Structure 1
């Protein structure tokens, strides 16, 4: 006589499956890759609003910032709540140094939100802007004209932001233009930067990057809150080594609409695009 196999409570089994799935996903996200949507235009034209990428968390080793933060409705768990025991000594497990020019996701030193910018200044460097030109250790970076970056003046992304334009007031659906240059760092890394107009952040004092910290800037220079602005006024300031999360190397997917489900807004030419 065949015996019947015992079956557990289906609700309990479902809960177990969900818990195990979340646990595996959490481990994967903590150790290997973190998904990241581009919410703002601070890295144009390298990164556009609506670009989706995976950040390589193995690139620089691991710190408390490698743990994910979870904010869903009433649930608000910060990375420090999970991995706070690793916080405070500005070191990393299996750590390696980032290279000048890397595009990096890091945790803001004060508000703990994830930011993505380009690494410009290494520990011990001096960084200054004079007439919009970056000076590293007293030497201006190489610049060459790269035409203009043109986009449609319209609401962009889920936040519904509008682009800033160098060519004055532009009506809805008009062409919004910015000057574009090719910037080359001392180590040979080269990428595009954008200019909107003359503003205070084009001329700065001399920043001396402390040991164990880094200086970041956005490629869309006149539309980026970065290390040029002190943390006391909402800026990024110098970023500690332990706050680095990972390196961005390639756009996986891109959508110009408010939702990735709007397939007619997909930017097919940016799928799997390698980043400079």
Structure 2
């Protein structure tokens, strides 16, 4: 989506610049010189700029500072989010950021434990990933025997039952669904009880200032901070907080299979 963001900014600035230059230097003279053979009409480039600039500016403002749509491309956040979910991300919860550079220009709030966030991973800065914040700056996070510990305190778990996947998530059928009792933000996670050949990403990490420790809810199918070389997500890489599913369409590549799940439309993201 980075190419779209760049194209949107360039198109907005270009159309606004054309409109402004015409208004300051050419529009008045064109009006004065209008006559029987010259109706003083705007050149086609100016006409298009005047028509598109307000629309582009509104889209840019909404997308950069209010809410931005994203599509879930993988199973890493199952069962909370499914492949094919189209979500909305709140862009002002943590502060206002400039488009393209993601530079924060106004701080409003700080990420909280349990927030589901969209971010640019340090190892793939041109991509957008989504995970759940587990560790805050200064926390010591550990993951051992499929259990999360924060500052030495283990999260409690309640077994929900055997998970039955569908569509692109069918391979998760047979996994165990659990409720992870993250304080103030209980949520579902998946794990395979006998995933003996899967790297569990066990370890212990202390989160440095200005960084966060993130994990996917699908614990055996998530490339998250447990496996990164640096292990931590810089605060400046966060794009926003995911808050709602507005559409679900399971797909292969970018082609929808007409497999819409209308029951997920409007669901909040916990």
Give TM-score scaled by structure 2 length: 0.77
Q: Separation in 2 of the partners of 1:267 and 1:47?
A: 12
Q: Determine the C-alpha separation between the residues in 2 that align with 1:32 and 1:19.
A: 19
Q: d(CA) in 2 for partners of 1:222 and 1:238?
A: 19
Which of 153, 159, 163 matches 1:145? 159
Bigger mean CA offset, 46-55 vs 198-207: 198-207
Shift of 1:22: 2.7
User: 1:119 touches 1:215 (CA, 8 Å); kept in 2?
Assistant: yes
Q: In structure 1, what is the equivalent of residue 186 of structure 2?
A: 190
Question: Which residue number in structure 2 is paired with residue 117 of structure 1?
Answer: 131
* TM-score (normalised: structure 1): 0.75
Describe the shift of the 1:49–1:193 C-alpha distance in structure 2 as closer, same or farther (beyond 3 A). Answer: same
Q: 1:53 aligns with which of 84, 87, 90?
A: 87
- Structure-1 residue corresponding to 2:245: 251
Aligned counterparts, 1:60-75, within 5 A? 60-63=94-97, 66-67=98-99
Tell me, yes or no, if the aligned pair for 2:72 and 2:86 is still in contact at 8 Å: yes
For residue 119 of structure 1, report the CA deviation from its aligned partner: 0.6
CA distance in 1, matches of 2:196, 2:139: 25
Counterpart check, 1:93 vs 2:89: no
CA deviation string 1:62-104 (max 9, x = no partner): 34xx52xxxxxxxxxxx23xx6xx4xxxx76223111110111
Specify whether residues 144 and 199 from structure 1 end up closer, same or farther in structure 2 by C-alpha distance, changes over 3 A only: farther
Structure 1 residue 164: deviation in Å? 3.6
Taking the aligned partners of 2:253 and 2:197, their CA distance within structure 1 comes to 33
How many pairs does the alignment contain?
232
Determine the structure 2 residue equivalent to 1:179.
176
Contact 1:36 1:52 in 2 (8 A): yes
Name 2:206's counterpart in structure 1.
208
**Secondary structure at the residue paired with 2:80?**
coil
Shift of 1:263: 8.1
CA distance in 2, matches of 1:262, 1:206: 41
Match of 1:72 in 2: none
Q: CA deviation at 1:17?
A: 2.8
Unaligned 5+ segments in structure 1 are 68-78, 157-161, 166-175
More helix by share: 2
Which string of whole-angstrom CA distances, capped at 9 and with x for unpartnered residues, describes residues 103-149 of structure 1? 11112123212111001001111111111111111111010001122
Deviation at 1:200, TM superposition (A): 5.4
Instruction: Report the alpha carbon displacement of residue 50 of structure 1 after superposing the two structures with TM.
Output: 0.7
SS in 2 for 1:219: coil
Gaps of 5+ in 2: 1-35
Q: CA RMSD in A?
A: 2.6
**Is the contact between residue 41 and residue 163 of structure 1 (CA under 8 Å) also seen in structure 2?**
no
What corresponds to 1:169 in structure 2?
none
